[in-house]
Chain A
Amino acid sequence: MADITTLLQVLIWGLTAGCIYILMAVGLNMIFGVMKVVNFAHGEVMMIGAFASYWLWSLTNHNPYIVMFLSMLLVGGFGIIIERFGFRKVMGTGKLNEIFLSLGLIYILQSAAVKLWTDDVRKIESPYGSMTLDMGMLNITYDRLIAIAFTALILISLHLFLTKTDLGRALRATSQNHEAAMLMGVDVNRIYMLSFGIGAALAASAGTVNAILSPFTPYMGTIPGIMAFVVIIIGGLGSIPGAIVGGLLLGLVQNFTIFYFGGAWKEAVAFIMLIIVLIFKPTGLFGEGRH
């Protein structure tokens, strides 16, 4: 039987992994909730975010956590371009077209990253790399604490944006019923661009946090991209609270599964969770069955 310190340590690893899943899944749900578009290349947008931060960090030598905000802006803008000149063109022409567009984007973005940055293994050096917070029983690195705090900050900011601003309300209205929103004077196309931009920016933040914690290559986005889909199905398609709870749950369950049953079950347990949720609550934990 493991002692409490060890279990708390596993809890911290699960929380940090969950933070990356949350940032990914909230972004994906922003896009799906508003546009009803499935972007399979979300993991690759995350990878582009990691490389954008790496590139800016290498050029400026500034703190990578500062650089991350600039990277989020850049990748958010990149997301708007993808929406405007990619998904906008195929929306309403059938789900298969959207799926193949996003599958194509996976290869295009990976190949572009290899061309631009090569596929050598990279890492972003954190100025807090060796610093840990001694909490008696536990030592937690500053980078992990920052990852958790940053995720909380992003979620609070997103909540305030969605509930307290006109643009946020317009975005929620479009998510609920885009035709009604249009009749009420909401520029739906603008909202689509905004939601895709926010989703891409959140993926960029997930990529940067990941790149600070672990080495990365242009192929880093594949598994997190798949896991983000698992999270949004578990949490409920289009539900932001669902993405948060689903992300945390997946991070914790995966890490405790590794601890008790071994790493061979890490990915399997994600799909076991998904199947269980689909059987007992097919709309996901927070899904309302309105889409």
Chain B
Amino acid sequence: MVNNAKMLIIAVIISTVIVAGCAGPSEEVQSENANPGNIKIGLVAPLSGGASDVGGDMKQAAILAVEEINAAGGVYVDEYQKKLPLELVEGDTKTSPAEGVTAVERLITRENVAVLVGGFSSGVTYADEVPAAGKVAYVITGASSSSVTRRTDIDTSCFYHYCSTTDDYSQPIIQFFVEELKPLVAPERDLKLALLYRDDPFGQGCYQSCVDYIEAEDLPVEIVAAEKFPAGESDFHTYLTKIADAKPDAVYSIDFVEGTSSMYIQGQRDVGLNTVYMAVECNEDPAFYELLGEWGDGHLLETKFAPYASDYLPMVGEYKEAYIARWGEMPGMMGADTYDGIYLVANAIERAGNLDRLRINDAIKQTDEEERLLLMDGGKITFDEHNEISPKIFVEQMSWDEESGELTPHIVWPEYVKEMDFVLPDNYEMGG
């Protein structure tokens, strides 16, 4: 029996090492093409694994953008004196850091892509950007931790954050709570906030930016519980029970679609934590509304892309129609970022005038163009000293329609885009 147990443990270790070791680095090849028939763009996305629903949206949006650009003749490249079509080459990260590294290495060395677009999950992107460091421009459209562009251990001059960072959305969320929720539930005292976050760079970034912002601005918000959980967790009962014990006025949930929907449901249905829940923008996805159903009624979602409320920006409505016509379903937010990202690199290649990776990188750095699917400060897409954009963030409140059996979001904050006023969920019980 002892031998069996030992053998079992040794076998687990050996097999793990063998499986992990299967992915080796690819051989280095020339990064330029003498006379290309097309321009290869590498799409880095979780096309399988735990975040494949988001990866599917990124892929569909990227294909849509490439098809539109190619239908218009492609991208003009001055060196060849002609328009070249774009070719999208997929790199599946399989929602795993190790697989992400392999995928990016393949895109750079074997597929010889001119530029990379995509990257979802800060933990995965933190690993998969290593082979691209200093070699090829990578327009990151899905990993929100600011550490992916501000890290100091590798050359980040080729990385561009074309999505909100964790700072971008934790700050407006806190602002929303102070401006809209506090007057309703805690006018005479500090607002009591609980955070439930993934134990990875994304979750830690969200948590830390909340803490820093509250402290820096001396805001009347007290963090009464901050629980972190391992990525991939699906059973949140004990975390939520502990949070309920702290009697918060609101819960800020930081995870992807599967986990966040579980938190909302398990919190209300099983634990009886009837507060108001706030999710982060990567949950702006049709699957989120479908999984939540009636349990989403009255609860919140931070976002920068709202396809259900597309009137705030004409291009959003056009994109939504085109996406539905092409794919037969509603678009999600990560796809919108990626769609914009493809246009951004196409324009940069045209400005660069050739397919030299460093010239394309310089052209991306100097981007100064009109906003497309994301509202930007000043209405323009530009990158700051950290290679980050400045998107405008808003908060949506979901409402459940018993007759149609659908959950739909409406913008409730800030004032200049809001469709309706924020109201407390029907089942809200005072915290404190």
- A residues apposed to B, CB below 8 Å: 2-3, 6, 9-10, 13-14, 16-17, 36, 38, 40, 95-96, 99-100, 103, 114, 119-121, 123, 129-130, 132, 139, 141, 144, 213-217, 219-220, 222-223, 229, 233, 236-237, 255, 258-259, 262-264, 266-267, 278, 282-284, 287-291
In the complex, what distance in Å separates the CA atom of A267 from the CA atom of B8? 19
CB pair B227–A99 under 8 Å, yes or no, is no
Q: Which of B227, B235, B272 has the most CB of A within 10 A?
A: B235
Does A215 contact B234, Cβ atoms closer than 8 Å? yes
Contact A120–B287 (Cβ < 8 Å): yes
10 pairs, CB–CB < 8 Å, chain A vs chain B: A9-B271, A103-B19, A121-B257, A215-B234, A258-B229, A259-B242, A264-B199, A289-B1, A290-B1, A291-B4
7 closest cross-chain pairs (CB), A and B: A263-B229, A13-B237, A289-B1, A214-B234, A119-B52, A283-B1, A258-B238
Tell me the complex Cα distance, A216–B235, Å.
11
Hey, which chain B residues are within 8 Å of A290, CB to CB? 1
Max count, chain A CB within 10 A of own CB: residue among B199, B232, B270, B271: B270
- Would you call B258 and A215 a contact (CB within 8 A)? yes
Q: For B56, B238, B239, which residue has the most chain A Cβ atoms within 10 angstroms?
A: B238
Q: Of residues 230 to 245 in B, which have CB atoms within 8 Å of A's CB atoms?
A: 230, 232-235, 237-239, 241-242, 244-245
A9-B241, A289-B2 given as contacts; is B53 within 8 A of A120 (CB)? yes
Q: Are A217 and B50 in contact (CB under 8 A)?
A: yes
Q: Please report the C-alpha to C-alpha distance between residue A214 and residue B5 in the assembled complex, in whole angstroms.
A: 32
Say yes or no: A121 contacts B258, CB within 8 Å.
yes
Which of A10, A119, A123, A291 meets B48, CB within 8 Å? A119
Q: Are A38 and B8 in contact (CB under 8 A)?
A: yes
Cβ-closest chain A residue relative to B196:
A263
B261 at the interface (CB under 8 A from A): yes
Indicate if the CB atoms of A217 and B269 lie closer than 8 Å. Answer: no
List residues 39-71 of chain B with CB under 8 A from any CB of chain A: 48-50, 52-53, 56
Query: B residues bordering A, Cβ < 8 Å?
Result: 1-2, 4-5, 7-9, 11-12, 14-15, 19, 48-50, 52-53, 56, 199, 227-230, 232-235, 237-239, 241-242, 244-245, 257-258, 261-262, 266, 269-272, 287, 291
Bound-state Cα–Cα, A130 to B7, Å: 46
Given contacts A14-B238, A214-B266, 14 further A-B contacts (CB under 8 A): A13-B238, A36-B4, A99-B11, A99-B15, A120-B53, A120-B287, A121-B53, A141-B269, A217-B50, A220-B234, A262-B228, A263-B199, A263-B227, A263-B239
B-side contacts of A119, CB under 8 Å: 48-49, 52-53
**Cα distance A14–B172 when bound, in Å?**
36
For A237, the chain B residues whose CB sits under 8 A away are: 1, 4-5, 8
Interfacial chain B residues near A40, Cβ < 8 Å: 12, 15
CB-based nearest B residue for A38: B8
Residues of B within 8 A of A288 (CB): 1
Pairwise interchain contact A2-B48, C-beta atoms closer than 8 A: no
Residue of A nearest to B226 (CB): A262
Please determine whether B270 and A141 come into contact, CB atoms closer than 8 angstroms: yes
How near does chain B come to A1, taking the closest CB pair, in angstroms?
10
Determine chain B's interface SS by DSSP, over half rule: helix
- Closest Cβ of chain B to A275, distance in Å, is 10
Contacts of A121 in B (CB 8 A): 53, 257-258, 261, 287, 291
Q: Determine whether the beta carbon of B12 is less than 8 Å from that of A229.
A: yes
> Is there contact, CB below 8 Å, between B234 and A264?
no
Residues of B within 8 A of A263 (CB): 199, 227-230, 233, 239
**Across the two chains, which residue of chain A brings its CB closest to B53?**
A120
Residues of B with C-beta under 8 A to A282: 1-2, 5
**Do B11 and A95 have beta carbons less than 8 Å apart?**
yes
Contact residues in A for B11 (Cβ distance below 8 Å):
38, 95-96, 99
Q: Among B1, B12, B270, which residue has its beta carbon within 8 angstroms of that of A236?
A: B1
Most chain B Cβ neighbours within 10 Å, of A9, A95, A266: A9
**Bound state CA distance, A15 and B170, in angstroms?**
36
Inter-subunit contact A264/B230 (CB<8 Å): yes
CB–CB A284/B1 < 8 A: yes
A10 touches which of B5, B238, B270, B287 (Cβ 8 Å) = B238
- In the complex, the chain A residue whose C-beta lies closest to that of B261 is A215
Instruction: Given A6-B241, A289-B2, check contact A13 B235 (CB 8 Å).
Output: yes
Q: CB distance A233 to B241 under 8 Å?
A: no
Cβ contacts under 8 Å, B15 to chain A: 40, 99-100, 103
Q: Contact: A129 with B269, CB < 8 Å?
A: yes
- Establish whether residues B241 and A13, one from each chain, have CB atoms under 8 Å apart when the complex forms: yes
Least CB distance, B208 to chain A, in whole angstroms: 15
Given the interface contacts A119-B52, A263-B199, does A214 sit within 8 Å of B238 by beta carbon? no
Contacts of A216 in B (CB 8 A): 234
Q: Which of B1, B53, B229 contacts A291 (CB 8 A)?
A: B1
Contacts of B239 in A (CB 8 A): 258, 263
**Closest chain B CB from A58 CB (angstroms):** 14
**Is B242 a contact partner of A144 (Cβ separation < 8 A)?**
no
- Rounded to whole angstroms, the CA-CA distance of A288 and B2 in the bound complex is 10
Nearest residue (CB) in A for B94 is: A219
Residue of A nearest to B285 (CB): A121
Residues of A within 8 A of B257 (CB): 121
Verify B53–A259 contact, CB threshold 8 A.
no
Nearest B residue to A107 by beta-carbon distance?
Answer: B19
Q: Which residues of A contact B2 (CB under 8 A)?
A: 282-283, 289
Contact A255–B245 (Cβ < 8 Å): no
CB distance from A212 to the nearest CB of B (A): 12
Find chain A residues with CB under 8 A from B4 CB: 36, 237, 291
Instruction: State the CA gap A132–B272 with chains docked (Å).
Output: 10
Chain B residue nearest to A251 in the complex (CB): B235
Instruction: Kindly identify which residue among B8, B49, B269 contacts A233, using a CB–CB cutoff of 8 Å.
Output: B8
